[in-house]
């Protein structure tokens, strides 16, 4: 998730076992340790645009690395609270803060290699959006009140809110999966796997998608007291031989396609508006559409050692904002 959410949850986790006179020091350590795993974003290369996809949410987020990451944080951050906390308290604060990060990221749909190095599978429980103010704001407020009032109870309340919200996300995901299966049935489809993930910003609006006979179908579900579904778009599953027959299988661009296929769990399609762009079907600014949020762009006639270009389209247009509002209110 975003750094604010990670820092707030790290602080709340660390404060659960803090003494009243240690609140502020422990909160600082937990927050900083809770954000530390994302330092892996600096593992990147200008010569290899896809390198960061392989290492972001990899070893720094793995369960087996938590004790090591916490120890590094304790050694570095402990200098900030020297004389106020014991070495044991410093390590425990960093351990709880650092450990919360990968588990929270696994709750999103992006994918986290929790079980590295035993497998490179990207774990995604799909029960909270990568940005969700309803999760983050109460968490930040609870941690802030705990620090101002030196109250461990407020910190525990903040942690309980986070847990309750994530469990609500599980229940909402299951509702979305049922509705997604129902709309698939109206098309005469019985998908082997249907995925539901929250749209950006809340647990109210969800995106469902599945594969059927070589095509991906995306739909949306609004899950208030009364649920409503919105039929979405269809796109052919990306096929290298059919869609980019000019691409040499021995080229670096072909290898980059396979790397991006692993990252996206094979949910690939051509960008409808750009035939040289391969996009991740799982994500779109509007949950009923198949639009590029990110992907790779291939170059016809490129040299064999030239990499594909990674691109993002994260700024919503006016039309996209209007469509999101319609899905939330119609």
- 141 and 56 in a common domain: yes
Secondary structure letter of residue 109 according to DSSP: S
Global pTM reads 0.93
pLDDT tens per residue, range 247-291: 999 999 999 999 999 999 999 999 988 889 999 999 999 999 999
- 265 and 159 in a common domain: no
Residue 192: predicted pLDDT: 86
The answer to whether the beta carbons of residues 307 and 286 sit under 8 Å apart is no
- Distance from C-alpha of 224 to C-alpha of 327, rounded to nearest angstrom: 12
The backbone torsions φ and ψ at residue 266, rounded to the nearest 5 degrees and listed phi first, read: 70, 15
Please state the rounded mean pLDDT for residues 122-126: 95
- 127 and 20 in a common domain: yes
Residue 315: predicted pLDDT: 87
Per-residue confidence band for 106, with pLDDT thresholds at 50, 70 and 90? very high
Please state the rounded mean pLDDT for residues 4-14: 97
How far from 261 is each of 11, 29, 41, 54, 59, CA to CA, in Å? Answer: 35, 37, 20, 12, 20
Please state the rounded mean pLDDT for residues 100-106: 97
Q: How many other CB atoms sit within 10 Å of the CB of residue 151?
A: 16
Per-residue confidence band for 114, with pLDDT thresholds at 50, 70 and 90? very high
Task: Flag whether 46 is in a domain.
Answer: yes
Please state the rounded mean pLDDT for residues 79-91: 92
- Distance from C-alpha of 124 to C-alpha of 109, rounded to nearest angstrom: 5
Helix (H) or strand (E) holding 194: strand 194-198
- 244 and 159 in a common domain: no
Q: Give the closest residue to 4 by CA, choosing from 131, 150, 91, 158.
A: 131
- 164 and 49 in a common domain: yes
The token pair that represents 173 in the structure block:
């995901």
Residue 169: predicted pLDDT: 97
Place of tokens 């309980």: 160
Number of domains, the chain: 2
- Distance from C-alpha of 217 to C-alpha of 230, rounded to nearest angstrom: 12
Residue 314: predicted pLDDT: 83
- Distance from C-alpha of 2 to C-alpha of 132, rounded to nearest angstrom: 9
Mean per-residue pLDDT of the chain: 95
Of 169, 193, 219, the one marking the end of a domain is: 169
Task: Flag whether 219 is in a domain.
Answer: no
Domain with 261 in it: 237-323
- Distance from C-alpha of 166 to C-alpha of 25, rounded to nearest angstrom: 27
Please tell me whether residue 143 adopts helix, strand or coil conformation. helix
Q: How far is CA 146 from its chain centroid? A: 28
- 165 and 49 in a common domain: yes
Task: Flag whether 221 is in a domain.
Answer: no
- 68 and 162 in a common domain: yes
Per-residue confidence band for 36, with pLDDT thresholds at 50, 70 and 90? very high
pLDDT tens per residue, range 198-238: 998 889 999 999 999 999 999 999 999 999 999 999 999 99
- Residue 157, classified by CB atoms within 10 Å of its CB into exposed (0-12), middle (13-18) or buried (19+), is middle
- Residue 214, classified by CB atoms within 10 Å of its CB into exposed (0-12), middle (13-18) or buried (19+), is exposed
Task: Flag whether 175 is in a domain.
Answer: no
Task: Flag whether 213 is in a domain.
Answer: no
Q: Give the closest residue to 270 by CA, choosing from 256, 249, 291, 254.
A: 291
- Distance from C-alpha of 294 to C-alpha of 50, rounded to nearest angstrom: 12
Task: Flag whether 86 is in a domain.
Answer: yes
- Distance from C-alpha of 205 to C-alpha of 193, rounded to nearest angstrom: 20
């Amino acid at each position: 998730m975003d750094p604010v959410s990670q820092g707030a949850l790290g602080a709340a986790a660390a404060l659960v076992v803090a003494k009243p006179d240690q609140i502020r020091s422990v909160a600082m350590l937990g927050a900083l340790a809770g954000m530390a795993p994302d330092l892996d974003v600096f593992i990147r290369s200008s010569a290899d645009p896809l390198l960061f996809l392989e290492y972001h949410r990899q070893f720094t987020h793995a369960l087996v690395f938590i004790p090591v990451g916490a120890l590094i944080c304790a050694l570095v951050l402990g200098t900030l609270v020297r004389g106020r906390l014991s070495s044991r308290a410093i390590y425990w604060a960093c351990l709880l803060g650092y450990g919360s990060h990968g588990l929270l990221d696994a709750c999103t749909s992006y994918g986290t290699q929790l079980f590295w190095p035993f497998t490179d599978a990207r774990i995604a429980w799909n029960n909270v959006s990568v940005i969700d103010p309803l999760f983050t704001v109460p968490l930040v407020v609870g941690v802030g009140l705990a620090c101002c009032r030196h109250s461990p109870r407020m910190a525990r309340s903040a942690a309980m809110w986070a847990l309750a919200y994530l469990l609500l996300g599980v229940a909402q995901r299951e509702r979305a999966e049922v509705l997604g299966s129902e709309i698939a049935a109206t098309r005469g489809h019985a998908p082997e796997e249907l995925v539901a993930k929250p749209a950006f910003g809340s647990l109210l609006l969800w995106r469902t998608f599945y594969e059927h006979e070589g095509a991906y179908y995306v739909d949306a579900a609004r899950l208030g007291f009364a649920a409503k579904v919105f039929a979405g778009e269809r796109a052919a599953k990306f096929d290298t031989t059919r869609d980019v027959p000019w691409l040499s299988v021995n080229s670096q661009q072909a290898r980059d396609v396979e790397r991006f296929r692993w990252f996206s769990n094979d949910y690939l399609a051509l960008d409808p508006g750009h035939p040289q762009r391969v996009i991740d079907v799982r994500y779109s600014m509007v949950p009923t559409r198949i639009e590029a949020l990110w992907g790779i762009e291939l170059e016809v006639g490129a040299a064999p050692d030239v990499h594909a270009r990674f691109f993002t389209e994260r700024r919503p247009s006016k039309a996209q904002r209007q469509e999101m509002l319609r899905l939330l209110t119609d």
